[in-house]
A and B are shown apart, each in its own frame.
Chain A
Amino acid sequence: MSTDHGHAGPVAATSVPGEPDHRHVTAVVVSHNGARWIPRLLAALEELAPLPDRLVAVDTGSADGSRQLLVSALGAESVVEAPIDTGFGAALVHGLAQLPSVDVPARQRWLWMVHDDCAPAPDALGELLAVATSAPDIAVVGPRVRAWPRGRRLLEVGLTITGTGHRETGLEPGEHDQGQHDAQRDVLAVGTAGMLVRMDVWEALGGFDPCLPLFRDDVDFGWRATSLGMRVVVAPAAIVFHAEAAARGARVIHNAAPSAHRADRRAALYTLLVNGSATALPWRYLRLSAGSLLRAIGYLLGKLPTAAFDEVRAMSGVLARPDRIFRGRTARRRLRLAGRSPDHRAASRLLPPWWLPYAHGADSWLGRLAAGVRDRAAVTSSSVRQLRAGRGDGSALETGPVPEEAENLPAGTGPVSWLRLHPLLAVTALLTVLALVATRGLHGAGFLQGGALLPVPGSAGGWWQLYTETWHPVGLGSDAPTPPYVVVLAVAGTVLLGKAWLVADLLLLFGPVLGAVGAYVAARRLLAGRALRAWVALSYACVLAVSGVAVGGHVGTAAAMVVLPWLVRASVPLADATPGTPWRAAFATGVALSLLVAFAPLAWPMAVAVGLAAVVAAVLRRRHSRCGPLLTAVALPAVLLLPWSLRFLEDPRWLLVEAGVVDRTALGAADIGWRLPLGRVGEAGAGPWWLTAGFALAALVALTRSRTRTRVAGAWVVIAVALVTVAVVGDEWVSVPGTDQLAHAWLGFPVLVVQAGALAAAAFAADGWRADVTSASFGWRQPVAGLTVVAACVSTVAGLAWWAVAAQHGDLVRRPATTLPRYMTDAAESGATKRILAIRTDADSVSYDLRLGDGDRLGDDGVLAAEESPELTALVADLISQGRPADIARLADFAVAYVVVPRPYDAAVVAELDAIPGLSRASTNARRLAGWQVDVPTGLLRVVGSGDSTAAADATVLSYHDGADAVIASGGEERLVLVATPAGGTFDVILDGASLDAVDAGALETGKAFALGPDGGRLAVAAESPRQWWLAGQACAWVLALVLAAPGARRAYDEEAVR
């Protein structure tokens, strides 16, 4: 059954038997479905010099003819069979067992392991033996392993294992063998492909661990040998070419786990846990558990669910079986070699530092990122060069397809040509300059505000806090779910280094620029001509600029129009004819639509209508695979925007309220009149109607071109949906939060969608129109097309020129967020959380607002209480008509610490407030406002002696910041804890672990009251809401949607290289 190479040709065997330095080598080839590589292995074995003394092949149930190949080359007696699930170590043992014993001391017998997918160089065995016999403590020798079949790419020059279980070769990815690893060195282990092991050590260690049937058996073996004082050495002169077929998934493994990855991870975890010192074991357990979970999450993010599943299964298979670990460690502890017991210190010096896997991870990620950018740049520039060369002399060879960006490139090298070669950059630069000119006077210190725009918070942290807190201390207090646009702003602000003001500036002052960039990017997927794309981008910016939306402070519409082109871009695969089911595009569209709906909820029913129209079209065109993705895309906002989206079920009228405050000056559709289809909504600061008339004309003329009518019809469907939306909601009214006022629903978004649809229709029809016009005989089409193009271009130029030169700033101003004295706002925002009551007497009727800190900020508009507080209204009326001392306690019940009356004011009101005992004049800038301080302790959270208003003067104010935790002393029997939140919110008040009961005190109209009683202790107050769970669920949903929308990660295994 074995092959004795003593007679195999002119090359002598490893030594002459009977001599003192006789070294007897037994080679064992293990084969499993390796027919693709065995012929080359056999050829390599034939060329070996010296040859092994004996060679046996073990085939583990191959089904691809491997055994036949081995038998035909080695003879049937040299090939033994083993069950299909036999591991590598077991196969070695099985092969050795079939060989007759030889009369050579075990110290001089060597076992050489050969994989069926490797090919040793002719002198490999000789070099291995030379190193093996160079020192008496060398027990294991490994070759320099290079890529199959004869590559110079290095695969292994010795091995170790990182703290995360990865095989560490010490090589750079793709590192070529240039002689840099020629020095012989000690390592922790060497790979089994070509490993030469002294037989006495092999026997003392009991061979490979049967628990490591395929992977990490080499590392484990080397680790054990090193622990027993033996050396594992690399012989760089010995070269073996290795396909690594199992590790690369190039063949199915039957003897380990269902997947190579799972087997690899299971082996890695096992190896780390059974070796090493016992004291480090708990730490290793923790590290490997957390690492495996993180790795699984990473695989999920990379859309490799199978790998994630393997990771989790491997982790559970090893970490959840401590008995196996215990047995493995016990077996290793009992190992003895020449009387020596294991010493972990010997092996630990050969382990890499703990941070190495993380450094590798970062290297890998950055490298891939850089490579991606570099590859794209290289492809583009190469294509541009090719095209230039082709146009320049007509002699350049066509070398293949060029990317979209390289089409229609003009020739030339001057700055003008450079700009024409980079139209997106040129459009962005031009519009940025125009925006800077158009918004002159709106830059500088202060906060952008006015119209529907509230000042932004001081930093993005304000938005994060607003979004995550359960109860909002704004106005009268609110537990309304924060609208999701707040978290979008928070993310944007965080990306902009926390500068919230920059978010508002970008959206409202540079919104046309951002919109144009998106429009150009979207046009790349839809239009072939570069000039046409640039026109679309400029015209889109023109539409936004002349609409007056930005100068009206309509941040919702402004942001939605920035997102809209990206939604279009994402949804293109849903409408094209590419085979397959575009699930990725569905999720990308859904994510973009969710962002859009977050700012402009009215976009949702519009998208549903367009989506249903697309589903009908898909059914008619027998593209049923499109229906699921389309429906998924339009349904996704309902999930991603929970729980906020539930309010639409409660009252569909919420769809009419977009980001920002409700515009009380908004006009109905009939009031806007015929300017409506031209993109005007009656805003102050909007451009003349005729500026965009060219776009509407072009959209109508676009219908006449037959070749592009399908896409133009699609654009008109969008226009129709937008106009129907305007017709439906154009006469609707929405309530102004916190008041009994009504305002017309804001029509900005659907009106601008009409214009965007007109642009799309015109652009679709213009795509390739020049060729059609010039090729056709002269008729009515040529002059009509020419005039339309002129009209559309004039509209764009005139609109942008008007924007830069003549546009007014409308309601938009930049000024300090508040005119209140700093000490008041600081006190209001302090731990006591006090409020400031501002009474305005400049209008026909007296109005008031309750502020916390320096007033409402962008985002607060979405959570302000919907209803007014009749008690507060009555209190204000009492204060300014005949204020009495009892009103001070009422003010304290609302946590009002200051009362201010901004100028211009009614002197009688100021005098009336002056006369109220308990209100002391506060220091203010008299040219701006008059102010008073409430002379009783007040704050959001108070402990009072009783529900009687007379107890207000003796109240104890507790600090509150997203909850309270304070130690209070004992006191009277009738003590109450008052939470001044008249507009809603559920609170848990706990004293020393016991919840306090809410009571029906007289103060309940201004908040909540809880019976405290005489006992003191630790008092904890927290808003009660399931919002944290909603947020967690929402975060998971967004991560999942983004993962599904993102391009998939490349698999780690490159099968092509193996072939």
Chain B
Amino acid sequence: MRWVRDLVAGLAVLASGAALVVALDTSSERTVPVRRSATVAPLDATLSCPESPVDAATRTTVFAVSPSPRNGAGSLQLRPLRAVTAMPLATQKLPRVPLVEELSTADGPSVMAVADGRRAAGATAYQFSVSTGKQQSGLAVSGCDRPAGQWWFNGVDTEAGTTSRLVLANPSPGIAVVDVLVYGPDGPVRAAGSRGIALAPMSQRSLDLATLAPGLGNAAVQVRTQRGRVVAAIHTARIVGVTPAGSEWVTPATMPSTDVVVNSGLVGSGQRLLVIANPGRREALVQVQALVESGPFKPTALGDLRVEPGSVLVTDVAAVADQASTSFRLASTVPVTGGVVSTTTGSRPEFAVSASSPALDAPAVVPVTSGTDLRLCASTAERGTGRIEVERFGREGDSLGSEELRVRGGSTACLDVEATSTPAYVVVSADRADAVHVVATYTGRDGVAAVAVEPGVWSLTRPAVAPAPAG
């Protein structure tokens, strides 16, 4: 039987070799379904307006609209920022029909627009304040924003003659805890009492920034939450001598980035200061490009700007940006944020602070108010021509026609919205997402104001969620 064992041994070796060859030769890929995030319509929206001053010298009006044409269950309400059980100031259930409510003293200190159901998509609210008092005067326009975990402001002034207040609102049912960081020309300002500021649910709190960082001109302020989300806004009022020189809500800036577009703001002569804040720990080397109607150019006077870590650089750009249709593109080696502080001179001095604005990646609502002219300036830093469609809507939500604004690559173009048909608001949409930045400028007898046009929240990203394997 020796042959049997030899045969078995031989077969075993051959089988081993063959199995090894087969094992090493076979390889296949299995396609595992990849979970992707989904886009869904928001179920609700809470837009908190900053402090709504109402007194004998100040008149405040809140505008809110749900521009989504879809009918269905849902409502848009204006409510005081109080307990959930507070009665609404006004309610609108129809699509595209705006709510315009002039606030009374009983509605303060601030209000919020709450939308749910079908009215939540794209819901937008603005607040207009006109002051005619001795302490402050002028037109102040501010968007009512969604709560967020971080806010940036540029061009904040706490020098003598200027009053800057940080208004924090917590429209959520949980406690929010906030840190306020101030960056000045000489670096971060260590301010006592600026960390761990607690806000009760459905509450608002106002801080005089001069108590945190006195004597700073054109500072940058970061508001970030340790817990919860808040809506932050900074209101600045100036007095020259004994004359009010304007009051303004400082437009919130986008998050620091290496590529930022800043609109220059007001029309007219006066001071134009470009404020660049570098909150990082490395020096920023910033190249400034002016985006004007005729196209982009690099101002030789500006050259490459160096911004120290944690500090703010202020540069006079009046020579470059003496026209409204000028924007600046800041290309930096490290994330920066920026803004332009514009001051008009004359019998009624006024100022405005524009900031790096978000790209218009979704339709945005811009209200139109009687007695003021609305001008929309769109900039794009990218190549190629962008097209802006501006559709006008009446007080009953009816479409009044649309206009188109073409923006060549690397330029800024403006459009004056016709007030002849007395539209209630316009819906601005761009055909190139992430490329076009729009600023709205209101000019009227009460003063001037500029706000960055922020795209409405028409949808939310529902992240891909998967159960984690054990271990």
Contact = CB atoms under 8 A, between A and B. Distances in A.
Given A676-B20, A723-B15, A880-B463, A914 B176 contact: yes
Interface stretch (B6-14, B47-55, B260-268, B293-301): B6-14
Contacts of A184: none
B8 A861 contact: no
B319 interface: no
B12 A742 contact: no
Given A884-B43, A911-B225, A915-B228, A669 B26 contact: yes
Contacts of A451: 471
Interface string B17-35: 0111011111110101101
Contacts of B173: 915-917
B469 A661 contact: yes
Interface string B434-471: 00000000000000000000000000111111111111
Contacts of B23: 669-670, 676, 723, 726-727, 730
A868 B469 CA distance: 10
Interface in B138-179: 147-149, 172-176
Contact of A921 (B22, B42, B172, B174): B174
A847 interface: yes
Given A730-B26, A914-B174, A915-B174, A738 B227 contact: no
A740 interface: yes
Interface stretch (A42-50, A316-324, A710-718): A710-718
A849 B468 contact: yes
B4 interface: yes
Contacts of A730: 23, 26
Nearest to A849: B468
A873 B13 contact: no
A669 B24 contact: yes
B227 A661 contact: no
Contacts of A720: 11-13, 15-16, 19
A925 to B, nearest CB: 15
A847 B467 CA distance: 5
Interface in A866-880: 868-869, 872-874, 876-878, 880
A846 interface: yes
B40 interface: yes
B20 A677 contact: yes
Contacts of A452: 471
B149 A723 contact: no
A700 B257 CA distance: 65
Interface residues of A, number: 78
Given A846-B464, A877-B463, A911-B229, A661 B20 contact: no
B1 interface: yes
B383 interface: no
A768 interface: no
A757 B9 CA distance: 13
Nearest to B469: A736
A936 B469 CA distance: 28
B462 A716 contact: no
B201 to A, nearest CB: 9
Contacts of B11: 720
Contacts of A874: 465
Interface centre among B8, B28, B176 (most CB of A within 10 A): B8
Contacts of B147: 911, 915
A868 B467 contact: yes
Given A716-B13, A733-B30, A860 B470 contact: yes
A674 B23 CA distance: 10
A138 interface: no
A709 interface: yes
B322 interface: no
A449 B172 CA distance: 41
Contact of B149 (A620, A670, A911, A920): A911
Nearest to A861: B470
A908 B19 CA distance: 53
B281 interface: no
A864 interface: yes
Nearest to A663: B471
Interface string B220-255: 000001011100000000000000000000000000
Contacts, number: 188
A880 B20 CA distance: 49
A739 B23 CA distance: 28
A587 to B, nearest CB: 27
Contacts of B148: 911
A916 B229 CA distance: 11
B465 A716 contact: no
A847 B19 contact: no
A738 B32 CA distance: 14
Contacts of A741: 32, 466, 469
Nearest to A713: B9
B44 interface: yes
Contacts of B463: 845-846, 877, 880-881
A881 B40 contact: yes
A856 B32 CA distance: 25
B15 A671 contact: no
A698 interface: no
B8 A727 contact: no
A483 to B, nearest CB: 14
Contacts of A881: 40, 460-463
A726 B467 contact: no
Nearest to A845: B464
B4 A620 contact: yes
Interface in A430-462: 449, 451-454
Contacts of A846: 463-466
Interface centre among A664, A741, A868, A920 (most CB of B within 10 A): A741
A674 B25 CA distance: 11
A846 B462 CA distance: 10
Contacts of A454: 470-471
Nearest to A751: B23
Nearest to B36: A845
A686 interface: no
Interface string B105-137: 000000000000000000000000000000000
A860 B470 CA distance: 9
Interface in A634-673: 661-662, 664, 668-671, 673
Contact of B175 (A668, A877, A921): A921
A1008 interface: no
A840 interface: yes
A720 B15 CA distance: 6
A739 B469 contact: yes
A951 to B, nearest CB: 20
Nearest to A875: B465
B467 A738 contact: yes
B395 to A, nearest CB: 30
B24 A676 contact: yes
A621 B176 contact: no
B44 A884 contact: yes
A407 interface: no
B255 to A, nearest CB: 12
A703 B9 contact: yes
Contacts of B8: 617, 713, 716-717
Nearest to A882: B43
Contacts of A674: 24
Nearest to A744: B30
Contacts of B174: 914-917, 919-921
Interface in A720-773: 720, 723-724, 726-727, 730-731, 733, 736-742
A838 B470 CA distance: 12
A740 B227 contact: no
Contacts of B460: 881-882
The 3 closest A-B pairs by CB, nearest first: A670-B27, A716-B12, A713-B9
9 contacts: A449-B471, A709-B2, A712-B9, A724-B15, A727-B23, A736-B469, A849-B468, A911-B147, A911-B149
Given A733-B30, A740-B33, A882-B42, 6 more contacts: A668-B26, A668-B27, A712-B9, A739-B467, A847-B466, A861-B470
